[in-house]
Amino acid sequence: MERLRLVVHSNLHDVKRLPCSYPKKPHLALMPEEMPRHLSVQIWDGAAWVEVQRWENNHRRLLIQNLEVRTQALRVLFRQSWGGERSGVFACEVGAPDYSIPPQAMPWPEPHWTGERRAGA
Q: What is the pLDDT of residues 36-51, one digit of tens each?
A: 999 999 999 999 999 9
Q: How far apart are the first and last CA of the chain?
A: 35
- Domain locations along the chain: 3-12+33-94
Backbone φ and ψ for 74, nearest 5 degrees, come out as -140, 145
Neighbours of 8 (CB within 10 A): 24
pLDDT in tens, 4-39: 999 998 877 766 554 555 556 666 667 888 889 999
Whether the full predicted model's pTM is greater than 0.85, yes or no, is no
Rounded distance, CA 55 to CA 84, Å?
A: 18
Please name every residue paired with 39 in a beta bridge, in sequence order, or none if there are none.
55, 78
Query: Is the pLDDT score of 102 beyond 60?
Result: yes
pLDDT in tens, 48-94: 999 999 999 998 999 999 988 888 899 999 999 988 888 888 899 98
Rounded distance, CA 11 to CA 90, Å?
A: 11
